[in-house]
Amino acid sequence: MHLPFLPVLVILALSHIAAHADTQADIPADAAVDTSQSIHVSSIRNPELKSYRVMTAGLDAFDDHHALAPRAREVRFQLIPGPGAPDNAMQDLSLRIAGNETSIVLSLAADGSFTLPRSAQAEREDADLVTNRKKDAYRWQASVRSDDVPPGMRRLGDLRLQCQVGIAIAKKETPFLLRTLIAAKLRTTDWCSAVELKMSTYSDPAIASATLLDGGRRVALQVKNGGTSFLAPLGDTRYADDTLIELVYQQDAAGTPSAAP
């Protein structure tokens, strides 16, 4: 069954999602909390933001489906510059959870990734994750990685759990009638298990090839968008969660050393 609009729909929904889930129950030590004054809006007019309640659906999905990647300690979310973003899009980028009485500064890694803490107060206040950048400047994505996966590899179960996190958030942002239509087309409410649903996995650095290693077989996967993403068979039950995908980065293929994990 070919459903061309579904990949586009889900990619668009997930592009505004924050992406790796963490099992932390409390605010981490590197999160600065300031409740001395009410801070609710960013100084940037119409800033890039996400609902905290919506994002916690991804944390719940990580917990609920953790068996897909039991050796993954957390889910991280990542802000990725959107199309046409300037070269310095990550420079001085900041992110915080902002509510009526809550301001939690989140520590961003150089690649724009972060962990999302649990905060009952932020949930009660219906807080937002607010950046210091204009709306629609970035895409939000989840990332799940097991500790024992070799460099240059991705584990299929990690990608399946990553999908569950992203789809949980996407469903929160998708109108009921549209969710119902998608479930009917896929013939399941578990979108990640549907073979018909083709979802891209983001890669930075760009890749030259992605190959699924199935015993002695090597299955070439489709690489898209100039090497910045690839399609993995998330819903294909022939492949176990421990199946590995070998990535060859473009800079390696060209003979340049890679710093990618």
* Residue 78, strand partner residues: 113, 141
33 near 103, Cβ under 8 Å? yes
Q: Which residues of the chain have pLDDT under 70?
A: 1-43, 255-261
> Listing from the earlier edge strand, what are the strands of the sheet with 200-202?
200-202, 229-231, 223-224
pLDDT tens digits along 185-201: 999 999 999 988 778 99
Residue 231 has phi, psi (to 5 degrees) of -100, 120
Q: What is the pLDDT of residue 85?
A: 79
Q: What is the pLDDT of residue 43?
A: 57
Q: How far is CA 214 from the centre of its chain?
A: 25
How many Cα atoms are found within 13 Å in the side-chain-facing hemisphere of 77?
31
Helical axes 156-173 vs 5-14, angle rounded to 10°: 80
Q: What is the pLDDT of residue 105?
A: 97
Q: Percent of the chain scored above 90 by pLDDT?
A: 70
| Nearest-angstrom CA–CA distance, 169 and 53 | 9
DSSP for 48-78 reads EEEEHHHHHHHHHHHHHTGGGSTT--EEEEE
| Nearest-angstrom CA–CA distance, 69 and 259 | 24
pLDDT tens digits along 57-109: 999 999 999 999 999 999 999 999 988 778 888 999 999 999 999 999 999 99
Token pair 């459903």 is found at 3
Residue 66 has phi, psi (to 5 degrees) of -60, -25
Q: What is the pLDDT of residue 261?
A: 56
Q: What is the pLDDT of residue 57?
A: 97
Q: Minimal CA–CA distance to 152: which of 79, 87, 248?
A: 248
Antiparallel, parallel or unpaired: β 128-134 and 95-98: antiparallel
% helix / strand / coil in the chain, to the nearest 5? 25, 30, 45
Q: What is the pLDDT of residue 128?
A: 97
Query: How many CB atoms within 10 Å of residue 107?
Result: 14
Which token pair is 223? 């690489």
Domain layout of the chain by residue ranges: 5-195
